[in-house]
Chains A and B, each alone.
Chain A
Amino acid sequence: MLALARRHSTLLALSAITLVAVVLVRVLKGPDAVAHAWDGSVDLIIGILPSMLAGMLMAGSLRQLVPTGALAKWMGKESSWKGLVIASAVGMATPGGPMAAFPMVLVLSGAGADIGCVISFIVSWGLNGMNRILVWEVPLLGPDFALLRFLSGLPMGFIAGWISRRMPLRWAPPESLPR
């Protein structure tokens, strides 16, 4: 029972927040507001479902087409700005949550990527990951806003990597992969 609750903790937390929100809307704004919000949710779900399915199919297919780990050899210390650009692109192409991306930093640095490149990688994964843009951002916020957001975020991985190369702090990957 506890294990089940832990595995679905996010879902439970979201449900709890939703429940509280429903009660608050009913108490503070009355039944009409509840009906209004409910209609809004149904429209929203029906509206974004096709885009979301398409986004998932696209992300799942792209992942079969783009190899990532093999690119680490172009991300060394001497890779100048090109390494940062490649690392940013690899970050964008890397799907999955933090459980996939953070260990990927270890894989890349183990294969020779320098601090600037791994920072570019992780920042651009967090900000411009294609998977997230396709599955969440475009369906929910619309292609126009997603494009504005994407363009505004595009240089960020590069900038963060560039700054970190000039920072007087050294980082070496931990000896062993964490369990």
Chain B
Amino acid sequence: MTGRLVLIGLALLCFALALRKGRPTGMRALRETRDNLVRIMPMMLVAMPMATFLAELVPADIASGWLGPESGLTGLLVASFAGGLIPGGPYASFPLVLTFLKAGAGPAQMVALITGWAVLAFHRVVMWEIPVLGGRFALVRTLSSLALPLLAGLIAEALMPLFPHLLAGMR
């Protein structure tokens, strides 16, 4: 709840700063906000029910077993690779992560999954990276980021003591 208030406060502050640069800048900020809203709202209205209904179907032992907080290195590796396979933008991946977290997946494993989705993103390599930048760039980029999801998961594991209520709060 406090997090939400902070976010709203920060948003208003940023908007005030944009407005201070002049009315046209403020209007541009509002226009972009509206465009974002129009583009994202329909996705969100479909993605949220998708997440909650899928949550009913995910067998508890996949989330809490394979990807559970105790799944260790294997869980991090499975999550990293699975993340790379999730196609689509944030409207697909984040509701899915929410589903897994609610079903008992470990936060560090979900960090690895999001990182895998963000940096490996096999579908994005095929749809965007190769056509726009060429296969060679895609190769260099993929090789350079291959280990990152696991690394991010390990860092998250190490940071977990700083976030004690994450494990308890998700359920």
Binding site for B on A (CB under 8 A): 10-11, 13-15, 17-18, 21-22, 24-25, 28-29, 33, 36-38, 40-41, 44-45, 48, 50-65, 97-99, 102-103, 105-106, 115, 119, 122-123, 126-127, 132, 134-145, 147-149, 151-153, 155-156, 159-161, 163-164, 167, 169, 171, 173-174, 178
Contact = CB atoms under 8 A, between A and B. Distances in A.
Contacts, number: 259
Contact of A98 (B7, B57, B124): B124
Given A60-B30, A61-B29, A160 B148 contact: yes
Interface of B, helix, strand, loop or mixed by DSSP: helix
B133 A60 contact: no
Given A28-B57, A37-B56, A123-B144, 20 more contacts: A14-B47, A18-B50, A21-B54, A21-B56, A29-B57, A38-B52, A56-B36, A57-B33, A59-B32, A61-B33, A64-B25, A65-B17, A119-B145, A123-B141, A127-B118, A139-B7, A142-B169, A151-B155, A152-B152, A152-B159
Contacts of A45: 44-45, 48
Contacts of A134: 7
Contacts of A167: 140, 143-144
Nearest to A169: B140
Query: Sorted from nearest, which 9 A-B pairs have the closest CB atoms?
Result: A143-B3, A60-B32, A21-B53, A58-B11, A60-B33, A61-B14, A54-B11, A40-B52, A164-B144
A12 to B, nearest CB: 9
A11 B144 contact: no
B7 A58 contact: yes
Interface in B8-40: 8, 10-12, 14-15, 17-18, 21, 25-26, 28-33, 36-37, 40
